[in-house]
Amino acid sequence: MKKIVCMLLAGVFLLPAAACARPVEPDLSAYHTSGEATIPMEILGELDEATVTDLTEEPKYVALTFDDGPRADTTTRLLDGLLERGAAATFFVIGEQVPGNAGLLRRMRAEGHQIGNHTYSHVRLLKTDKDTVVEEIHKTEVLLKELVGEGSFWLRPPYGLIGSERAKLIKTPMIYWSVDPQDWKLLNKDKVVSAVLEAVQPGDVILLHDFYSTSVDAALEIIDCLQAEGYDFVTVEELFRIQGVEAQAGVLYARPDKVREVS
């Protein structure tokens, strides 16, 4: 497992074991003058050549996505944490979860998060007839438009399953994922954090569920750790825009640069 090291300019020390499980580079921006790095030798001695080279890296972007909400207690706490950290996310909501949680949907929109469609009743689109596929998506879309106004509510098929014939019925891009810690199964904050930090790379789409308290705890710690590494958290739509990818309706994407074969 990768060493658990976090470094600050004030010195080099270890964070508690429950914290970041990836090495975090120090912020040396204060030592840049006239476009050239002037780094004190005591700090330079702690860095390898790759670290120094990485000082001019482009920003790293990642999309944090949440399924199966909204849920009053957990989603509220998650939104509070996202706001505090200045992080954007994408919420793929279930239509049946919307009644009674209208304020959460409006808050998502107001605070710059993307809202997506996760069908009305979390039905397996691969196993149902085509009329039901259309109805499940349409019912949720109508609810969302009534609450937050017009928008392109991108679809995440439940379980990531839809099939090529039913994919032809979809009028928006479909979003799969590229990092899945199976938070719904682990129900353990530390294990979820570790699984994500060991796998994540710039451009990834991370799958979590705001339905579980442990997942909210994990999400906020993941944000803290990756922000310390220079990651920015953006919506899925923003991630596509940043990477210059025009998402196509009826296409299932694992991340902007990778189309997922429908299944």
For 72, the enclosing helix (H) or strand (E) is helix 72-85
Distance CA 14, CA 169 (A): 52
Among candidate residues 67, 68, 210, 217, the one labeled active-site is: 67
Instruction: Please indicate whether residue 209 is annotated as part of the active site.
Output: yes
**Token code pair at residue 258:** 């990778």
Task: Tell which residue, 146, 152, 147, has the closest CA to residue 170.
Answer: 152
Q: How far is CA 39 from the centre of its chain?
A: 34
* Contact assessment for residue 117 and residue 123, using Cβ atoms and an 8 Å cutoff: no
Q: How far is CA 176 from CA 17, 36, 126, in A?
A: 32, 41, 14
Q: How far is CA 105 from the centre of its chain?
A: 17
* Contact assessment for residue 94 and residue 70, using Cβ atoms and an 8 Å cutoff: no
Among candidate residues 118, 183, 209, 210, the one labeled active-site is: 209
For 146, the enclosing helix (H) or strand (E) is helix 130-148
Distance CA 126, CA 104 (A): 30
Residues serving a catalytic function are 67, 209
